[in-house]
Amino acid sequence: MEKLILNSKNYTIDDELLILRLEQAHFITDIEEKQRYEKHHNVGLDYINYHKGLYHKFIEPFLNKGLTLDFGCGPTKIYERILDNIFSYDKYFFNDDTVLNNKFDNIILIEVIEHLKNPHESLSQLVNLLNNGGRLFISTHFYQMDKLENWWYLRDETHVCMYNLESFNKIMDKYQLKLVYTDKEKLIVLEKVI
């Protein structure tokens, strides 16, 4: 396990999945985290247009027919405005665990995976929520080892786990997923192998 100090905080890169993880001593509380999310500007035409553009570029071309979950949807359930046959779940804003009793053909995680404090447990849960052939749509900025020192992503106190393409290769091996698409910078679609 590699240890790093970045912006006066301790990080490790886990040996199994190569996830860059903030050490737990630096985690903010759930109350502070929710307050931070409440400051996001998740309303307005710019926000809606951003997600519509992301949908048309990144989600729609690879979307399976069937049931979709917007996991970590935040306070607005934005993809319910764009898609039919969708459920939304969020730990702080729409915490209805009965939603997670379903199996899904698509799970959307837009700027979510970097906030999950227990990545192994969370990834296992997400893969188990997928039907065979189901897809994970993940948007998160991929880390680059040579650019970590000044990387803006680390300044967000709610970002606790960061990934790169090699992390996702390890995740695919561990959770029996295959690559459908990636832009190699921040977008990746993974499919549960039948």
Least confident of 33-42, 53-62, 178-187: 33-42
Closest by CA position to 123, among listed 102, 107, 101, 111: 107
Determine the Cα–Cα distance for residues 78 and 125; give it in Å rounded to an integer: 23
Q: What is the pLDDT of residues 44-65, one digit of tens each?
A: 788 889 999 999 999 999 999 9
63 vs 4, more confident: 63
Q: What global pTM score does this model have?
A: 0.95
Give the pLDDT band of residue 41 (cuts 50, 70, 90): low
2-192 carries CATH number 3.10.129.10: no
Determine the Cα–Cα distance for residues 70 and 56; give it in Å rounded to an integer: 16
Q: Give the count of beta carbons closer than 10 Å to the beta carbon of residue 94.
A: 17
Taking residues 144-166, what's their average pLDDT? 95
